[in-house]
Amino acid sequence: MRMAVSDISTAHSAARGGAEKRAYVRRIFSEIAPRYDLLNHLLSFNVDRGWRRAAVAALNVKRDPRGRYLDLCAGTLDLARVIAHHRGFEGSVVAADFAEPMLRAGRGKLNGTPGGPVAADALALPLPDESVAGAAVAFGIRNVADLDACAREVFRVLQPGGRFVVLEFSTPGQPVVGAFYGFYFHRVLPVIGGLVSGHPTAYRYLPESVEHFPEGAELAQRLRAAGFGAVEWRPLTFGVAALHVASKGDS
């Protein structure tokens, strides 16, 4: 597995939100799609499954169990599947992602649930205004080329009173946990991810993209600037991940 200097440079630039980000993200996720699920569960020690369940619980599907829900940056449809299998759910799920190989890798996970995967950019969703009862994104929003435009687009398609749930990696605040996490995230994860996926830079991009993504109060403020109200967040698993919940129409 050889890494050209240009590949490493592109990964660094994309992690910082450079002009190459959109094309780089689409390409790498298309390339690692066949082993994406395996690596998600392996590298998180399977904790990611519980994080997704927490995100769907925060989505408050019971408010409108027959509504249409959006899984944004859906990848292989893991979050969409949790929504579809949520107790009492009778609605539809639209799973949107612009990397089609990721969607194809997750085909079958919705098991006949109305809706399904849609190849679409998070900045230009093919959905009418106020057409979804709720929206959620798991580990994908830091990969969009324009965070603020993405938040505004979700706000556009969300119905009044609906929730937007953001599940994303964060940096632990406790020194001991932070030190262990930093070593694993920056030294161990890229090596394992690279070997298993066969991709030279995808799992080097991941920790860098987390470093450059706004967390906590800053992300909450960005969501408020897009129009959302009642924004709350809480850490998960010692702060390795964080859950943000924003509502449309609440102050």
Q: What class is the 5-247 domain?
A: alpha beta
What average pLDDT is seen over the chain?
A: 92
User: How crowded is residue 251: how many other Cβ atoms within 10 Å of its Cβ?
Assistant: 7
Q: Which of 92, 133, 87, 126 is nearest to 110 (CA)?
A: 92
pLDDT digits (tens, 9 = 90+) for 105-138: 998 899 889 999 999 999 999 999 999 999 999 9
Residue 64 is predicted with a pLDDT of 97
pTM for the structure as a whole: 0.92
70 bridge partner residues = 94, 135
What percentage of the chain exceeds 70 in pLDDT? Answer: 96
pLDDT digits (tens, 9 = 90+) for 142-157: 999 999 999 999 999 9
C-alpha span between 95 and 90 (Å, rounded): 16
Given pLDDT bands bounded at 50, 70 and 90, which one contains residue 250? low
Secondary structure (3-state) at 249: coil
**130: amino acid identity, one letter:** E
Chain position carrying tokens 């262990």: 180
pLDDT digits (tens, 9 = 90+) for 56-85: 999 999 999 999 999 999 999 999 999 999
Chain position carrying tokens 């920790």: 207
- Give the mean model confidence (pLDDT) for residues 232-247: 95
Q: Which residue has the higher pLDDT, 6 or 19?
A: 19
Residue 173 is predicted with a pLDDT of 85
Token pair recorded at residue 80? 């969409």
Residue 20 is predicted with a pLDDT of 83
Give yes or no for residue 165 having a pLDDT over 70.
yes
C-alpha span between 57 and 115 (Å, rounded): 20
C-alpha span between 181 and 235 (Å, rounded): 14
End-to-end CA distance of the chain: 51
With residue 36 as reference, give the H or E element that holds it.
helix 36-43
